[in-house]
């Protein structure tokens, strides 16, 4: 892969190439027990939710993707229009490139320009300082900051970081000093209960487990290597379902976001059944924007809202928070995961 092709554009290209991959996020291993009597009206179903102090009118949002190039600017502009028209929250990709090269600012600032009243999340890596975190928020007049953790990606990335000694310290300082909510998110490798415990100890209130099953950044960075020698790592990490199970014991101590290969409202329902308060979607929205355009994407999102209300009616849940109280069954694979990881998940 030629080095003069902007790395952000490479990420977009390879992410879209991955879209048709059959990698599983594990959420198809969650089954709700059908009950014949729902006893609620669809019109009474509410889709609003909360992440820390933020109120979301809908429980899924456009998760972090891109920024930092002319092509990324166009994509972010279109995503912001879709977010505005559907009233979805939206996160941008890492703004570190803009902090280093101010001429790239507009590829991110276009989001706030196109959606002046929307919920916008800025994004930075965990190696950044409090000063940079404040700059990242100011750049977008952001309502929250996502701090992404991506050790495997950095190690496979030819020009990636090799020093991870200050990540936890940086996160703690930013969480305690920033005046907007701080989310900590993986980038597609999932989280363990040990990781979650450490984040809770730092005061993190919103955690995006971002499991395996969606965009695979080991694959993306490996494709950028001359020898492509890390292809044996393509299945590294926990799936989205496994990550939510890892969070099971802590689901009352933080607000959890599920992301990683979410492709339909049934995946959303499964994530809520495992305790997620919201769902972040990247690859599916990127594909929609690139192949279907804004108008079709808006129509699909509105259809998803109606489908999610129908699914919630079917299981008798009138609120997002109630879904985790409904009886579900785990697949044998997920049950085995719980057994080996000593996770006391009751088949409700």
Task: Kindly report the backbone phi and psi dihedral angles of residue 31, in degrees, each rounded to the nearest multiple of 5, phi listed first.
Answer: -125, 125
Torsion region of 141: left, alpha or beta (phi above 0 gives left; psi -120 to 50 gives alpha): left
Q: State in Å, rounded, how far the first CA of the chain is from the last one.
A: 50
- Which of helix, strand or coil describes residue 258? strand
Any known ligand binding at 64?
Answer: yes
Counting Cβ atoms within 10 Å, is residue 180 exposed (0-12), middle (13-18) or buried (19+)? Answer: middle
Residue 283 counted as an annotated binding residue? yes
65 is in an annotated binding site: yes
**90 has which bridge partners?**
62, 120
Tell me: is residue 165 an annotated ligand-binding position. Answer: no
Token output for 228: 């492509």
SS3 185: strand
* 282 marked among binding-site residues: yes
262: annotated binding-site residue?
yes
Beta-carbon contacts of 328 under 8 Å, excluding residues fewer than 6 positions away, are 30, 31, 32, 33, 270, 273, 347, 348
Give the pair of three-digit tokens for residue 327.
Answer: 């009886």
Q: Residue 321 annotated as binding?
A: no
Helices in 224-261 by DSSP H: which ranges? 240-246
Question: Dihedral of the CA atoms 6, 7, 13, 19 (nearest 10)?
Answer: -160
Query: How many whole angstroms separate alpha carbon 10 and alpha carbon 151?
Result: 19
Rounded Cα gap, residues 346 and 321, in angstroms = 18
Q: Is 215 annotated as a binding residue?
A: yes
222's enclosing H/E stretch is helix 217-223
CA 198 – CA 202 distance, rounded (Å): 6
- CA 132, CA 29: separation in Å to the nearest integer? 40
CA dist., res. 312 & res. 266, Å (int): 10
Q: Is 154 annotated as a binding residue?
A: yes
Residue 261, annotated as binding a ligand? yes
- Integer Cα distance of 226 and 293 in angstroms: 34
114 a known binding residue? Answer: no
66 is in an annotated binding site: yes
Q: Binding site for Mg(2+): what residues are annotated?
A: 154
User: Residue ranges for the binding site?
Assistant: 7-8, 64-66, 94, 123, 153-154, 185, 215, 261-263, 282-283
State the binding site for FMN.
64-66, 94, 123, 185, 215, 261-263, 282-283
Binding site for substrate: residue ranges?
7-8, 153
């Amino acid at each position: 892969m030629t080095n003069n092709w902007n790395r952000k554009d490479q990420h977009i290209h390879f992410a879209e190439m991955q879209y048709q991959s059959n990698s599983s996020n594990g959420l198809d291993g969650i089954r709700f027990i059908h009950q014949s009597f729902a006893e609620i009206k669809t019109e009474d179903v509410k889709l609003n939710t909360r992440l820390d102090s933020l109120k979301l009118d809908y429980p899924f949002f456009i998760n972090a993707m891109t920024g930092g190039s002319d092509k990324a600017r166009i994509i972010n502009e279109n995503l912001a229009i879709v977010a505005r028209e559907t009233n979805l929250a939206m996160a941008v990709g890492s703004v570190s490139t803009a902090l280093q090269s101010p001429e790239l600012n507009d590829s991110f600032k276009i989001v706030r320009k196109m959606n002046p009243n929307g919920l916008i999340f800025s994004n930075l890596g965990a190696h950044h300082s409090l000063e940079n975190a404040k700059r990242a928020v100011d750049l977008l007049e952001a309502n929250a900051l996502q701090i992404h953790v991506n050790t495997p990606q950095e190690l496979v990335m030819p020009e990636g970081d090799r020093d991870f000694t200050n990540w936890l310290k940086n996160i703690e300082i930013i969480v305690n000093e920033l005046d907007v909510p701080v989310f900590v998110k993986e980038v597609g490798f999932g989280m363990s209960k040990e990781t979650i415990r450490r984040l809770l100890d730092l005061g993190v209130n919103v955690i995006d487990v971002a499991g395996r099953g969606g965009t695979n950044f080991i694959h993306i960075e490996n494709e950028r290597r001359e020898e492509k020698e890390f292809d044996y790592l393509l299945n590294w990490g926990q799936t989205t379902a496994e990550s939510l199970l890892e969070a099971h014991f802590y689901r009352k101590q933080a607000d959890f976001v599920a992301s990683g290969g979410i492709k339909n409202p049934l995946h959303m329902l499964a994530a809520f059944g495992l305790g997620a308060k919201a769902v972040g979607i990247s690859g599916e929205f990127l594909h929609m924007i690139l192949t279907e355009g804004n108008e079709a994407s808006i129509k699909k999102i509105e259809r998803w809202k109606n489908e999610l209300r129908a699914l919630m009616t079917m299981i008798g849940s009138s609120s997002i928070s109630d879904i985790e109280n409904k009886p579900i069954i785990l697949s044998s694979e997920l049950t085995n995961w719980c057994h080996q990881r000593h996770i006391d998940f009751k088949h409700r």
